[in-house]
């Protein structure tokens, strides 16, 4: 059995802390805390006590009062409740909302839904460091603005907004402010009262708690600003009805307490590990730190690499579990919208890695990850047509001739060069250089084997559709094989 990859995707989700899992188990089986918290009997009362204890634990982490904590299924629901609930409740007073282009989808999609309901949404563009300026926010506010939603820590770059300055602008204009704090809670010190936030979202699974539970902070006096999205039962101040999952809520509470207790020490440790990783990567040429020089969450490092194709980079890092700015999978060809908003071009945005560290990350793992990324970036750059001129290191010999041909080119998602060592009308040897996805690289390498011994008048071994079938290339990537065909046809032109 192969060794597990090094986990560097803590920003996506975290393993449940063993202490949290043990507490949750106590609330699941026959005992004193499995009851419905809404029931009046002792089993319900025991469960309700667990819920209220967890509410206090969450409140301490946020610097809130327990009565200001509303339990939800996670940050996605919390964000939806804050954005849709606040905007719809104020629809008779105004229909303008302000957010940013780099928000999480669970804020952007509700904003788009509001657009379909007749609201106007202004999406602010951050500066190149990833932050929204207070002046830019002030300029975007209108008399009919009913909500501003700006995240505290970006989930891709880790950049921390100056939420206090943004909140001051909103407070001066009397506009409620919601902040998605899913990546900040338990990672940096939070005091929602001092920051003057009206609403703040968090989720358990980003801080070593279970998936499926989170919370929305609702400032005292702000309940009237929210319209519920669901109805029935009246739980959670009638904002989130339904039987409360005691085990999940208890897990969230303990996860918050543990994160708060270790925050200062863990923040310093993760910052040191993050900088250790960055110092090692920064010595490579053509490497860009996304979010520099803004303050960032301790455990997130987002880096773009020039001269490599993003999907191939990730495929070559099978020993690392991480996320990428390259959404080059067959079902999502678009690069990271966050990095594009920061001014990265499409190719750089696709060739980006988010390496996120956490509670169980070690210095040895960071060093191994650094070695893996360095080696793979170097390998892909050496393989690219940009890495060397045609014919480099492979000269003509007696009775032989070097023929080359290219398809695609710099700045394109696919760039292929074939180099054929020919004797008369016969291919004696073939080699290649490629900048492209793993499927493209595989086909090009396979074709080089097919080309050996072929005659000039029958150089092409079939058509792209046949190559795709032979090498199991997804149909949506067939266009990239047309570039491969262009490179072979260019060889024929130069061979003539």
Rounded CA-CA distance 120/193 in Å is 29
Q: Tell how strand 120-124 and strand 96-100 pair up.
A: parallel
Which of 86, 111, 170, 328 is labelled catalytic? 328
Q: Per DSSP, what are the bridge partners of residue 302?
A: 354
Rounded CA-CA distance 455/459 in Å is 6
Other C-beta atoms closer than 10 Å to the C-beta of 139 total: 12
Using DSSP, state whether 123 is helix, strand or coil: strand
Which CATH architecture best describes the domain 263-385? Alpha-Beta Complex (3.90)
- Per run of 10 residues, the mean pLDDT along the chain (length 496 residues) is 86 98 95 91 95 98 98 98 98 98 97 98 96 98 98 97 98 98 98 98 98 98 96 92 96 98 98 98 97 94 96 96 59 77 92 97 98 98 88 72 96 96 96 97 98 96 97 96 98 92
pLDDT of residue 327: 36
What pTM was computed for the model?
Answer: 0.93
pLDDT of residue 330: 34
The class that CATH gives domain 18-260 is alpha beta
Q: Which of 211, 217, 210, 209 is CA-nearest to residue 239?
A: 217
Rounded CA-CA distance 377/316 in Å is 9
Please confirm, yes or no, whether 448 is among the known catalytic residues: no
**Count of positions (residues) in the chain:** 496
Rounded CA-CA distance 183/155 in Å is 6
* All structural domains of the chain with their residue ranges: 18-260, 263-385, 389-495
Using DSSP, state whether 270 is helix, strand or coil: helix
pLDDT of residue 391: 67
Beta-carbon-side half-sphere exposure of residue 301 (alpha carbons within 13 Å): 25
Please report, for residues 30, 32, 50, 482, the alpha-carbon distance to residue 488 in angstroms, rounded to integers and kept in the order given. Answer: 70, 73, 69, 10
Please report, for residues 5, 106, 387, 395, the alpha-carbon distance to residue 113 in angstroms, rounded to integers and kept in the order given. Answer: 39, 11, 47, 62
The class that CATH gives domain 389-495 is alpha beta
Label residue 77 left, alpha or beta by phi (over 0 means left) and psi (-120 to 50 means alpha).
Answer: alpha
DSSP class of residue 336? P
């Amino acid at each position: 059995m192969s060794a597990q990859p090094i986990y560097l995707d803590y920003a996506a989700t975290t393993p449940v802390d063993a202490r949290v899992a043990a507490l949750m188990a106590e609330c699941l089986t026959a005992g004193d805390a499995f009851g419905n918290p809404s029931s009046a009997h002792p089993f319900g009362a025991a469960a309700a006590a667990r819920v209220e204890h967890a509410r206090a634990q969450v409140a301490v982490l946020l610097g809130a009062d327990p009565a200001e904590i509303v339990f939800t299924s996670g940050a996605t629901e919390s964000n939806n409740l804050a954005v849709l609930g606040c905007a719809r409740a104020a629809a008779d007073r105004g229909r303008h909302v302000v957010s940013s282009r780099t928000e999480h989808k669970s804020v952007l999609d509700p904003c788009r839904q509001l657009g379909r309901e007749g609201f106007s949404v202004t999406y602010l563009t951050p500066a190149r460091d990833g932050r929204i300026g207070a002046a830019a926010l002030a300029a975007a506010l209108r008399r009919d603005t009913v909500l501003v939603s700006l995240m505290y820590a970006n989930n891709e770059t880790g950049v921390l907004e100056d939420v206090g300055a943004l909140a001051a602008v909103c407070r001066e204009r009397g506009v409620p402010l919601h902040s998605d704090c899913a990546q900040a809670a338990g990672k940096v010190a939070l005091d929602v009262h001092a920051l003057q936030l009206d609403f703040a979202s968090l989720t358990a699974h980003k801080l070593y708690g279970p998936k499926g539970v989170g919370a929305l902070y609702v400032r005292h006096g702000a309940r009237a600003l929210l319209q519920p999205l669901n109805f029935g039962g009246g739980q959670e101040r009638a904002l989130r009805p339904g039987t409360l999952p005691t085990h999940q809520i208890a897990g969230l509470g303990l996860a918050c307490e543990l994160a708060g207790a270790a925050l200062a020490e863990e923040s310093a440790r993760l910052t040191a590990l993050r900088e250790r990783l960055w110092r090692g990567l920064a010595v490579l040429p053509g490497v860009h730190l996304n979010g520099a020089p803004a303050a960032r969450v301790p455990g997130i490092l987002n880096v773009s690499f020039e001269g490599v194709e993003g999907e191939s980079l990730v495929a070559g890092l099978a020993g690392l579990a991480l996320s990428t700015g390259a959404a080059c999978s067959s079902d999502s060809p678009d690069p990271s919208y966050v990095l594009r908003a920061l001014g990265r071009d499409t190719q750089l945005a696709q060739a980006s890695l988010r390496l996120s560290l956490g509670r169980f990350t070690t210095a040895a793992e960071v060093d191994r990850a650094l070695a893996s990324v360095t080696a793979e970036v170097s390998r892909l750059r050496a393989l690219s047509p940009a890495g060397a001129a045609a014919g480099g290191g492979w000269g003509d010999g007696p009775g032989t001739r070097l023929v080359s041909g290219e398809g695609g080119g710099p700045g394109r998602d696919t760039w292929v060069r074939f180099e054929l060592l020919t004797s008369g009308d016969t291919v004696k040897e073939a080699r290649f250089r490629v900048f492209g996805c793993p499927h493209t690289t595989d086909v090009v390498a396979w074709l080089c084997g097919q080309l050996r011994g072929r005659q000039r008048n029958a150089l092409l071994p079939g058509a792209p559709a046949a190559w795709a079938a032979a090498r199991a290339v997804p149909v949506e990537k067939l266009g990239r094989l047309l570039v491969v065909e262009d490179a072979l046809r260019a060889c024929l032109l130069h061979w003539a």
